Amino acid sequence: MKPERIIIFDTTLRDGEQCPGASMNLREKLEVARQLARLGVDVIEAGFPVISKGDFDAVHTIAREIKGPVICGLARCVPADIDAAGAALKPAGKRARIHVFLATSKIHREFKLRKAQSEILRLAVEGVRRAKTYTDDVEFSPEDASRTEPDFLVQVCKAVVAAGATTVNIPDTVGWAVPDQFGALIKHLHDAVPDFASGKAVISVHCHNDLGLAVANSLAAVRAGARQVECTINGIGERAGNAALEEIVMALKTRRDFFGNFACGINTREIVRTSRLVARMSGLPVQRNKAIVGENAFAHSAGIHQDGVLKKRETYEIMDPEEVGWGQSELPLTKHSGRAAVAARLRQLGFRMSEADVNAIFARFKEIGDKKKFVYDDDLTALVEDLLTEVHETWALDYLSVTSGSNTVPTATVRLRKLGTGKQKLEVVQDAAIGDGPVDATLKAIDRLTQTQGRLLDYSLRAVSAGKDALGEVTVKVEFDHGLVITGKGTSTDIIEASARAYLNAVNRYLANGKKKNNKCSAARR
């Protein structure tokens, strides 16, 4: 019997990126989109084009560069939103989808929109019809559907499908639903709207995780008739996040005995690599005990468990870790490896780098190679991600020396180069500062030299690869004036240097973009 296809709609770059502190620049988004294409998702929701020039450019670039998946842009049922989405998605041609949404629940109608049911129906139909002038592939979402009166929801679904919507998405916008109830709602819609049963239109679901039930609700919906699931890598997203793609995909695959003969086009061996890339690009680390992709997901510490796994893996593992991308470490490069070998390895890892990019990465590779015996794929990937997170550098680290000890006042001497257009050398400045520790002293010295005042809100350090000489990746969240919070990242075998690079990355982002007024309009939360 041929498996029934479940469409995987990835919204990491839209709903996932709305998560506070997860903002990505254009190059980071494009690299994530390339990896999502390698993963095999059916639809990439690339952004909300009308919300800002940055979002428009990201959707337009992804629509032009990424081949394979359908590229989707979000829009409210507002003409300007739909027109912006249509323009941004134009390079995708027949692979373009416009996703329009409008709140339908009683609480949203009365307090947010102040509109009657008849007005909601009219606006929804008009929005779908306008989107159809740009593409045949139109999706409609009744925002807060799980709290909308079921009979009115049926009316909305019938109206938008009649207007041309090919997918109707049922969002659990505030994570209010529970599996039995949500599954019953999807079955009610499937039975009450003939176009769902006939296949003329697809029922989709988009679940939030406020009660920790996003994946459970999504799977209940699949059993009840939903054939598209909207999800994000690592479950990132608004508030408590969205349904996690990797959990949904592996639940359907592992428990086919329960869910039935469903299949999706995901290349599961790319799951871990995708998870790591999104974690680094977004600055949102994956918890160690996260299902499927957490570092402890396939770790066994109890003696009984270890004994069982050694005798037969399936005694304590319901999935083969290699199926999702966990596996043995690759053969590493060394400091003696040449530029061609590094360039070839980058291609094998799936990165598309220009000659200038390869040269920049190779220069950092040689620096790292002088400090450690082997440079692993994870080290190389971290160097690429450093490059992708770069902004116009006002300041660059030239020299760092720290003095610290149990009976010594921690002192840092920092020398920075101030750069201009073309990175010509304008001036070199140096200063020293003391602090509560070597990192604190280093950051204070950078503040004095750059004449900025950042307040460190969060600091995280992780080893990129194994071994005592592992490359360290530091991620910082820094608050500047007016409550502006900016994320910075840096890597080095020396954690003080990695800290300095991460903090400078945040300072440069602030100087390049932070002082500009934020012109983003307030997006309705779906």
Distance CA 507, CA 254 (A): 46
pLDDT bucket at 510, cuts 50 / 70 / 90: confident
408-419, strands of its sheet edge to edge: 395-405, 408-419, 425-434
| Closest to 159 in 3D by CA, of 198, 121, 109, 197 | 121
Which residues partner with 432 through β-bridges? Answer: 413
Q: Cα dist. 181→172, 248, 387, 498, 507 in Å? A: 12, 19, 47, 49, 48
What is the model's pLDDT at position 431?
95
What is the model's pLDDT at position 71?
98
pLDDT bucket at 389, cuts 50 / 70 / 90: low
Model confidence pLDDT, tens digit, residues 78-96: 999 999 999 999 999 999 9
Query: Is residue 74 exposed (0-12), middle (13-18) or buried (19+ Cβ within 10 Å)?
Result: buried
pLDDT-above-90 percentage for the chain: 64
Model confidence pLDDT, tens digit, residues 290-330: 999 998 887 754 555 556 656 666 777 888 888 999 875 45
Domain 4-282 has CATH 3.40.50.170: no
What is the model's pLDDT at position 386?
76
Distance CA 452, CA 313 (A): 55
What is the model's pLDDT at position 519?
36
What is the model's pLDDT at position 20?
72
Distance of CA 507 to the CA centre of its chain: 23
pTM: 0.79
Model confidence pLDDT, tens digit, residues 447-504: 999 999 999 999 999 887 767 777 888 989 999 887 788 888 888 889 999 999 999 9
| Closest to 342 in 3D by CA, of 383, 391, 305 | 383
Asked if 292 and 324 count as a contact pair (C-beta separation under 8 A), the reply is yes
Domain 395-514 has CATH 3.40.50.11740: no
pLDDT bucket at 525, cuts 50 / 70 / 90: very low
How do strand 472-479 and strand 455-463 relate by DSSP bridges?
Answer: antiparallel
Positive or negative: CA dihedral 352, 357, 360, 362: positive
Positive or negative: CA dihedral 159, 160, 164, 166: negative
Model confidence pLDDT, tens digit, residues 138-195: 999 999 999 999 999 999 999 999 999 999 999 999 999 999 999 999 999 999 999 9
What is the model's pLDDT at position 352?
83
- Half-sphere exposure (Cβ direction) of 119: Cα atoms closer than 13 Å: 9
Distance of CA 198 to the CA centre of its chain: 34
H/E stretch holding 86 reads helix 79-88
Block residue for tokens 């919204």: 11
Assign 3-state DSSP to the chain and report helix, strand, coil percentages, each to 5.
Answer: 45, 20, 30
What is the model's pLDDT at position 169?
98
DSSP state of 483: G
Distance CA 87, CA 206 (A): 25
Asked if 236 and 21 count as a contact pair (C-beta separation under 8 A), the reply is no
DSSP state of 512: I
DSSP SS3 for 4:
strand
Distance CA 93, CA 307 (A): 55
